[in-house]
Amino acid sequence: MNRKILAAGSIAAVAALTLAGCSGDSGEAADPDAPVTLTVSAWSIDTTPEFQLLADEFEKKHDNVQVELKEYDPTEYNTLVTADLAAGSGPDIITQKEVKYLTTFQEGGQLLDVSDVPLPDGIGGAESYEVDGVAYATPYRQDSWVLFYNKALFDAAGVSYPDGSWTWEDYDAAAEALTTDASKGAYLHNWQSTVQGFANAQTGTDILEGDFSNLADYYERTLALQDAGAQVDFNTAKANQLTYQGEFGTQKAAMMLMGTWYTATLIAQQASGEANEFEWGIAPVPQADESTTGTEATPVTFGDPTGFGINANIDSAKTDAAKAFLEFASSEEAATLLAGIGITPALTNDAIAEAYFSVEGSPADELSSFAWATHETLPENPTSNKTAAIQGILADLHTAVLSGSETVEDAIATAEQRVESEVGLD
């Protein structure tokens, strides 16, 4: 990836000289020791420790900078942040919670060009924040979807643990074999990602092309598992507002497809007693065929990065500090700190993986390490101003199919027609 690099080499290097920025119309250099306060948007701060961790560690490096977190409701995050930006009260640093909304901020002129923020080699997810070659955010975490499984329930059912060789047929067979009167073989959360994310990544489908026929096989097998009683059906999960943390954490399901962010949550909930005590592991997600199975291959999964952008209307005296914060959050040092609390950073290497699996309560087996570190992670949301609208239509398809209100074939046809008429194709 080509990025413009400051002549001095690193924003961090020049931040000490110009951290407070320029004084505007006077043309005089600002006092480098002048206090700077950066506001950063966040959500669920009590249960999402990464924000405070990054803020605290950055402050340690910059005595004159204070980082304040501005908390938003996670379910209405993008709407609330957009409203604050429109009112001129938006945060200095805008956390990019969902890639599909990046272009909304960018087209609204609300994000600063951050192409000059240096990123370490090998970091994942940076391309998701680029529009026409310009970077409008930088990644600090990159979750990927894996398979969580309860070793105790596998043992009780006499079913062999996942070994990295599973296709979807193996997963389906295990789900049925693991189902008992007390627990389901699998829990599939009600998000569209749990079906469509895998279908698109593993068939190489670009949703911007408007052809969703690839979803058929994935929905048919999901419906078959529902019909067999091997997982809670969609309507029951919605009506009872089931949570994935509750279903897996209290051993109501032996397996669960979920993003790596759940690792930190499960560790914390087992420590607090909110989740049951049991031995668990993670494995690669089941694959479409055997060509990507086994620990000598690279399994295909999906996941979007989480990143930080800068408010285009930030006080110019704060710009250098804000860019220094983005550089730090993407660094190997920050990645190691994030891994140490069970967060999957955008940058990974052996040392970072060691920090991740050194967290008390994390799995210690080799397959868990492999699943976390080795995979081809394709973006769920391509960077486009059409993505959010298309994903909304696909969410309707998901509900229609799994609720039983439409057949798979009819729901796909409806979605394709809607995308053509409501969104338009290039």
What's the pLDDT tens digit per position in 324-365?
999 999 999 999 999 998 899 999 999 999 999 998 999 989
Q: pLDDT at position 356, please?
A: 93
Domains in the chain (CATH in brackets) are 11-143+304-348 (3.40.190.10), 145-301+365-423 (3.40.190.10)
CA–CA dist 112, 95 (Å, integer): 13
Which segments of 325-399 are extended strands (E)? 376-378
Q: pLDDT at position 36, please?
A: 96
CA–CA dist 110, 416 (Å, integer): 32
9, pLDDT greater than 70: no
Predicted TM-score (pTM) of the model is 0.85
81, 139, 173, 202, 312 from 89: Cα distances, Å: 9, 24, 53, 42, 12
Question: Mean pLDDT, to the nearest integer, of 202-211?
Answer: 97
167, pLDDT greater than 80: yes
Question: Mean pLDDT, to the nearest integer, of 75-87?
Answer: 95
6, pLDDT greater than 50: no
151, pLDDT greater than 80: yes
Work out whether the CA dihedral 228, 231, 234, 236 comes out positive or negative.
positive
Question: Mean pLDDT, to the nearest integer, of 373-397?
Answer: 95
Comparing 17 with 240, the larger pLDDT belongs to 240
CA–CA dist 340, 355 (Å, integer): 5
32 band by pLDDT with thresholds 50, 70 and 90:
low
Nearest to 253 by CA among 226, 276, 231: 231
Contact predicate 198/218, CB 8 Å? yes
Which two structure tokens, joined as six digits, stand for 111? 């994000």
Question: Mean pLDDT, to the nearest integer, of 363-368?
Answer: 94
- Give the whole-number percent of the chain exceeding pLDDT 90: 88
34 band by pLDDT with thresholds 50, 70 and 90:
confident
Nearest to 328 by CA among 39, 118, 96: 118
Q: pLDDT at position 4, please?
A: 27
74, pLDDT greater than 80: yes
Question: Mean pLDDT, to the nearest integer, of 112-128?
Answer: 96
- Helix, strand counts (H, E) of the chain: 17, 13
Contact predicate 13/62, CB 8 Å? no
413, pLDDT greater than 90: yes
Question: Mean pLDDT, to the nearest integer, of 156-169?
Answer: 98
Work out whether the CA dihedral 85, 88, 309, 371 comes out positive or negative.
negative
80, 219, 233, 421 from 401: Cα distances, Å: 31, 8, 12, 21
Strand partners, 395: none
- Going by the DSSP 8-state scheme, the letter that residue 164 receives in this structure is S
On average, the pLDDT of the chain sits at: 92
For the CA atoms of 32, 36, 41, 47, what is the dihedral angle to 10 degrees? Answer: 100
What 3-state DSSP class applies to 123? coil
Question: Mean pLDDT, to the nearest integer, of 189-210?
Answer: 97
Q: pLDDT at position 18, please?
A: 33
CA–CA dist 106, 375 (Å, integer): 30
Q: How many CA atoms lie within 13 A of 187 on its CB side?
A: 23
CA–CA dist 126, 115 (Å, integer): 10
13 band by pLDDT with thresholds 50, 70 and 90:
very low
223, pLDDT greater than 70: yes
Span 237-287, pLDDT tens digits: 999 999 999 999 999 999 999 999 999 889 989 999 999 999 999 999 999
Question: Mean pLDDT, to the nearest integer, of 48-64?
Answer: 95
46 band by pLDDT with thresholds 50, 70 and 90:
confident
Q: pLDDT at position 30, please?
A: 54
80, pLDDT greater than 50: yes
Q: pLDDT at position 378, please?
A: 95
28 band by pLDDT with thresholds 50, 70 and 90:
very low
CA–CA dist 412, 205 (Å, integer): 14
Q: What letters, b where the CB count within 10 A reaches 16 and e where it falls short, cover 307-340?
A: bbbbbbebbebbbbbbbbbbbbbbbbebbbbbbe
CA–CA dist 204, 207 (Å, integer): 10
